[in-house]
Amino acid sequence: MEKKVVITACSALTPIGHGKQQILHSLKNGLSGVKPLCDDGLLSDYIHSKVFGTIDYPVEFDFKRSHRKTMGPVAFYACQVVKEVLEQAGLDDDFITSGRLGVAFGSTHGSPTIQRNIYKTFFSGSKDQFSTVSAVDYLKSMVHTTAVNITKMFGITGRVISSSTACTTSSQSIGFGYEMVKFGIQDAMICGGADEYDTTTVAVFDNLLACSTAFNDTPNLTPRPFEARRDGLVVGEGAGAVLLEEYNRAKKRGADILGEVIGFSCNNNGGDLILPNAKGIKETIRLGLESAKIKAEDVDLISAHATGTKMGDVIEAQAIHSIFSDTVHVTGLKSYMGHTMGTCGVIETIIALYMMEKGFIAPTLNLEKIDKRCAMIKHVTDLVDSEIRIALVQNFAFGGVNTCLILKKV
């Protein structure tokens, strides 16, 4: 029997704030978290894009030394938001360690900061330098470092899933966690993603000519999803986590219910590994609506992937219009914080929950003149007071991976 799956806690570290109040303040006041790119004294000199979605406020990581020793920056971010989720949820230790709680959590690279230091040492030409690589450096840098450091810190013994599919990493994590609970494999799942700052991540996208460069002197004016002057994405960092629970269990223990996950879809374009594909996106949305057992007209809000790239936004707008026409509010939340890579899906899900609770839709930032090729959908250009009963969060990744999450107000 399929079970009802609800979200009972969430937390996010983002370029526009840490936690609900800071994030809401930034959204309601149109505040950007995009700042000048940090000068690392190496790669940054050769990168054309000089902007980054930055976490520039202090975060107090109150972790034991035994936990810290296997954690790179990305795992610190991940464990912090999970710590906050578990505190918010009020789960007891017996359940956390029972095997009935699982983890679905990932990142794009693991920890590129640690990886870079390892490679620098290996290729230094000095055998003596090899001894400086710590025995735990691999544990800090490996692609599933977030998931396993979470299990270690909190003693979680249930199912572990560690997605690493670039921009769909954390939306896949939520979707896979949703399926674990929906089909009774786990009673609850902690789901999300994290990515840290490292100049190599910016360099990759900069080399692909995908990054914004025209607003280096005015970082807050980019990215510009769907806007006529958009010139590419802005790489960012962050972390987010949600707790998914089986509805009856959550209700019985008196948990706060923030929303329900009613649908999830994931597919692949089966072709180009970089350019988005309208047919693939449309099929993802169709499968998501089918999974949720709803019609297009039931949706109140679409949180678009909307990275600010020249062709990606056009293709996404065309796909949205083909299914929803111009009747559903569409907003691009990356306009506030840049593209937080593997974290974007969970952060956008959390923001959708916040807006659902408060009854408003944040506009796409910097959307001054809509590109005529993207103008066929219902863009949100000013803050709108609106009841959101059903929200759709869509993400698309290099490699042709597409996801669609559908949330319902409870």
- pLDDT at residue 42, rounded to an integer: 79
Whether the CB-CB separation of 37 and 47 falls below 8 Å is answered with yes
Given the DSSP bridges, would you call strands 401-408 and 259-268 parallel, antiparallel or unpaired?
antiparallel
Other C-beta atoms closer than 10 Å to the C-beta of 372 total 9
Partners of 394 in the β-ladder: 404
Longest dimension (CA), the chain: 65
Given the DSSP bridges, would you call strands 329-331 and 301-303 parallel, antiparallel or unpaired?
parallel
Partners of 242 in the β-ladder: 10, 191
3-state secondary structure of 174: helix
DSSP-assigned letters across all residues of 368-404:
SSB-GGGTTSEE--S-EE---SEEEEEEEETTTEEEE
Question: What domain range includes position 200?
Answer: 5-408
The angle subtended at Cα 382 by Cα 377 and Cα 385, nearest 5°, is 95
What are the 10-residue block averages of pLDDT along the chain, 410 residues in total? 96 98 98 94 89 96 95 98 98 97 97 88 72 84 97 98 97 98 98 95 93 98 98 98 98 97 96 89 98 98 98 97 97 98 98 98 98 98 98 96 97
Closest CA to 382 of 399, 397, 368: 368
3-state secondary structure of 192: strand
Counting every residue written for the chain, the total comes to: 410
Whether the CB-CB separation of 190 and 82 falls below 8 Å is answered with yes
Tokens of 84: 């906050």
Number of domains within the chain: 1
pTM for this predicted structure? 0.97
pLDDT in tens, 234-267: 999 999 999 999 999 999 999 999 999 999 999 9
In 247-370 the beta strands, taken as DSSP E runs, fall at: 259-268, 301-303, 329-331, 360-361
CATH number of the domain bearing residue 363: 3.40.47.10
- pLDDT at residue 128, rounded to an integer: 67
Whether the CB-CB separation of 236 and 16 falls below 8 Å is answered with no
The angle subtended at Cα 47 by Cα 44 and Cα 51, nearest 5°, is 80
- pLDDT at residue 131, rounded to an integer: 67
pLDDT in tens, 169-203: 999 999 999 999 999 999 999 999 999 998 989 99
Whether the CB-CB separation of 106 and 193 falls below 8 Å is answered with yes
Report the C-alpha dihedral over residues 292, 298, 300, 306, rounded to 10 degrees.
60
206: enclosing H helix or E strand: helix 199-207
Tokens of 98: 């029972």
Whether the CB-CB separation of 226 and 371 falls below 8 Å is answered with yes
